[in-house]
Amino acid sequence: MMLQIKALIADGILEGVKSIAPQSEMTAEDVLGLLEYPPDPAMGDIALPCFKLAKTLRRSPVQIASTLAPLVSGEAIERAEAVNGYLNIYLSGAYLAEKVVPEILDKKEAYGAPDLGKGKTVVLDYSSPNVAKPFHIGHLGTTVIGHALKRLHEFAGYKCIGINYLGDWGTQFGKLILAYRLWGSKEQIEAGGIDELVKLYVMINNAISGNEEQGIAPNKEYADQARAEFHKMELGDEENIALWKWFVKISLDEYEKTYKQLDITFDSYLGESFYTDKMPAQVEKLRDMGLLKIDDGASIVDLEEHGMPPCLILKRDGSTLYPTRDIAAAVYRKGEYDFEKCIYVTSNQQILHFQQWFKVVELMGYDWYEGLVHVPYGTVSVNGAKLATRTGNVVLLKDLFAAAIEKVTEIMEEKNPDLKGRSDIAEAVGVGAIVFYYLSNNRIKDINFNMEDALSFDGNTGPYVQYTYARACSILEKAAANGVAPCGEGIKLTDPLEKALCVVLSQYEERVRVAIRDYEPSVITRYILDLATAFNRFYHDCAIFSAEDEAIRATRIALTAATKHVLGSAFGLICLRKTEKI
């Protein structure tokens, strides 16, 4: 809704611009880009800082603002004022409410969906842990950003394929097989699951690299044996392949528990191993096109001309590498899904890797290379030694979730001792707190996890917004019990905080579009906070059940229902569970 109103305003302003400067090439799109939402509704609901036009129009901002003010009008506009070089536009609350609220009550959680993706497919490659290595906090970013981007694209009508590109092939399996033969047992692993695998993995790694401080020398023999075990795997050795499959299954079963807590599912788990037989064709093509160069025995694609170090395709011993597999996988996915975009979510340490192989795909003449998108994110650290695990200095995702759930359970026992279904709710709130905290930052920023902050019920947190959702639900429940129905038509606004809430509700689609355009789920997190805050202010000041007349009561219930739908929809976009009760 807000988008239509802004478009209308932009047309009015453009007309004014053209009347002052007929030769100006400014478009409505340009004007839209200049409009702002003032931080305080006293300065209008939408504003145009006119100094941005001063150069084009060769007038002072003050003059421009007063020239434009009369041109901004229409049903949606209450008034437009020129103040100190700003054009402050006040929207009509009645108009907004009449347009927005019935639409939300009608469409419910489908309200605000941008019509962007019809008939188009997006592939998303995310989470993708390396099997047999710990699934640690570094994977939180790829997992939740990736899934949020999937939900956002789905919401906008794209067909989405979520792929968990498991790191299920490589020398780590040689190490693990060796460690298992040396120190492991079937019973132990069946009982301990992935923790046992990680323990073995850590042991063998320590043995291979040695420990200077403790006077343990690196064990070269183990290193050679591990390599040999992996080589046997590559040759299809039955016993090793069986062990490998078993390790993968144990790991996946464990990851599933975490995914389930997050309400995440994947459409495909084709990992690196799947591409073993698909790489030779691409290597051949590279060779035929004359793109491969031999450098110290290895095969590379020289990217100097493009300002990058070479992309490694084959090692000296002929074995393939991470970029080789990514190239083969992209070609396969294009054939399989005919994607418009293929989005890869990884930490920013892999930026160069993606730039390099995207370039190689381009050089290979695949015209769809422009659809390849890398979405990097910053590093995550955690303070609080309590979270460090037996596996050393990495923090496992499941331990982080468990700690959050435990804390939330404690808080809830204190706050609401009679609550039914507490363990489910504690999981929703504990996991939600971590997800929300993480997604509150611009993805590219490094973040330091602080449990206290994440779990607080009164900061800008997951618990706060989930609590707000629960509040809206309980108001609606009470309304139903008392026979107060939300009104569709006949909305009667009597308080500025009601209008302020409508303004935020009307901005949903716009924010969703920005989140998709910038691959930035934090736009939604911030929107949720804006909406929760607007709703809580409204709720604090506007009595619902004791309001003086029926139309006001019905309006306020309608506003509450609208808030619930939009919050619920936005929660869904960032993997935050809806909590009807807390």
Residues that bind ligand ARG (CB under 6 A): 125, 128-130, 165, 167, 326, 344, 346
Minimum CB–partner distance for residue 164 and ligand ARG (Å)? 9
How far apart (Å, rounded) are the C-alpha atoms in residues 200 and 129? 18
Q: Which is nearer to ligand ARG, 166 or 561 (CB)?
A: 166
3-state SS of 279-325 is HHHHHHHHHHCCCEEEECCEEEECCHHHCCCCEEEECCCCCECHHHH
Q: At what angle do helices 238-262 and 422-439 cross, to 10 degrees?
A: 90
Q: Which is nearer to ligand ARG, 130 or 206 (CB)?
A: 130
**Distances in whole angstroms, Cα of residue 144 to Cα of each of 112, 152, 383, 568:** 22, 12, 20, 17
Helices (H) and strands (E) in the chain, counts: 22, 12
Q: At what angle do helices 2-20 and 508-517 cross, to 10 degrees?
A: 80
Q: Which is nearer to ligand ARG, 125 or 510 (CB)?
A: 125
How far apart (Å, rounded) are the C-alpha atoms in residues 38 and 220? 65
Q: Which is nearer to ligand ARG, 346 or 525 (CB)?
A: 346
Q: Which is nearer to ligand ARG, 167 or 462 (CB)?
A: 167
Residue type, 558: A
What stretches of 193-298 show up as alpha helix (H) in DSSP?
Answer: 194-209, 220-234, 238-262, 279-288
Q: Which of 212, 257, 271, 150 is nearest to 516 (CA)?
A: 150
Minimum CB–partner distance for residue 196 and ligand ARG (Å)? 21
How far apart (Å, rounded) are the C-alpha atoms in residues 485 and 434? 36
Minimum CB–partner distance for residue 166 and ligand ARG (Å)? 7
Minimum CB–partner distance for residue 33 and ligand ARG (Å)? 34
**CA-based end-to-end distance of the chain:** 32
Minimum CB–partner distance for residue 341 and ligand ARG (Å)? 14
Minimum CB–partner distance for residue 443 and ligand ARG (Å)? 15
Q: Which is nearer to ligand ARG, 158 or 165 (CB)?
A: 165
3-state SS of 168-201 is CCCHHHHHHHHHHHHHCCHHHHHHHCHHHHHHHH
Q: Which is nearer to ligand ARG, 312 or 566 (CB)?
A: 312
Minimum CB–partner distance for residue 18 and ligand ARG (Å)? 49
Q: Which residues contact 468 (CB under 8 A, 6 or more apart)?
A: 532, 535, 536, 567
Q: Which is nearer to ligand ARG, 114 or 129 (CB)?
A: 129
Q: Which is nearer to ligand ARG, 443 or 577 (CB)?
A: 443
Minimum CB–partner distance for residue 360 and ligand ARG (Å)? 14
Minimum CB–partner distance for residue 91 and ligand ARG (Å)? 45
Q: Which residues contact 405 (CB under 8 A, 6 or more apart)?
A: 426, 427, 430, 431
Q: What is the DSSP string of 72-109?
A: --STTEEEEEEETTEEEEEE-HHHHHHHHHHHHHHHGG
Q: Which helix (H) or strand (E) holds 448?
A: strand 447-449
Residue nearest to ligand ARG (CB): 167
How far apart (Å, rounded) are the C-alpha atoms in residues 288 and 286? 6
Minimum CB–partner distance for residue 398 and ligand ARG (Å)? 16
Q: Which is nearer to ligand ARG, 12 or 129 (CB)?
A: 129
Residue type, 75: E
Q: Which is nearer to ligand ARG, 89 or 329 (CB)?
A: 329
Minimum CB–partner distance for residue 344 and ligand ARG (Å)? 5
Q: Which is nearer to ligand ARG, 128 or 506 (CB)?
A: 128
Minimum CB–partner distance for residue 84 and ligand ARG (Å)? 51
